[in-house]
Amino acid sequence: MWELITIFVSSFIIAFSGAMMPGPLLTATISESSQRGFIAGPLLIVGHGILEIMLLAALVLGLAPFLQRNEVFAVVAIAGGVILLWMAAGMFRTLPTLTMSLNPGSTRGGSLVMNGAILSIANPYWIVWWATIGFGYVIYSWSFGIAGLIFFFTGHILADFVWYSAVSAAVGKGRHLFTDGFYRWVIGTCAVVLILFACYFFYAGVQKIVA
- State pLDDT tens for residues 56-97: 887 777 765 676 678 878 887 888 888 888 878 887 888 888
Range of the domain at 187: 2-210
Confidence (pLDDT) at 159: 95
**What value does the mean pLDDT of the chain take?**
81
Confidence (pLDDT) at 107: 44
Confidence (pLDDT) at 60: 76
At 198, the amino acid letter reads A
Give the integer Cα–Cα distance in Å for 21 and 186: 11
Give the integer Cα–Cα distance in Å for 109 and 99: 26
Give the integer Cα–Cα distance in Å for 36 and 109: 11
pLDDT interval class at 105 (50, 70, 90): very low
Quick one: which of 134, 181, 185, 131 has its CA closest to 155? Answer: 134
Give the integer Cα–Cα distance in Å for 29 and 67: 34
Quick one: which of 99, 107, 105 has its CA closest to 178? Answer: 99
Q: Check: CB of residue 149 under 8 Å from CB of residue 141.
A: yes
Number of domains the chain is built from: 1
Residue with more model confidence, 39 or 104: 39
Residues in the chain: 211
Residue with more model confidence, 167 or 99: 167
At 197, the amino acid letter reads F
SS3 state at 132: coil
Distant-in-sequence, close-in-space partners of 107: CB < 8 Å, separation ≥ 6: 31, 32, 34, 35, 36
pTM of the model: 0.72
Distant-in-sequence, close-in-space partners of 88: CB < 8 Å, separation ≥ 6: 191, 192, 194, 195, 198
Tell me: pLDDT of 47 over 90: yes
In this structure, what are the phi and psi dihedrals at residue 81, rounded to the nearest 5 degrees? -60, -40
Lowest-pLDDT range of 7-16, 57-66, 95-104, 152-161: 95-104
Q: Hey, CA dihedral for 175, 177, 180, 183, is it positive or negative?
A: negative
Confidence (pLDDT) at 104: 47
Q: How many helices (H) and strands (E) does the chain have?
A: 9, 0
Tell me: pLDDT of 106 over 50: no
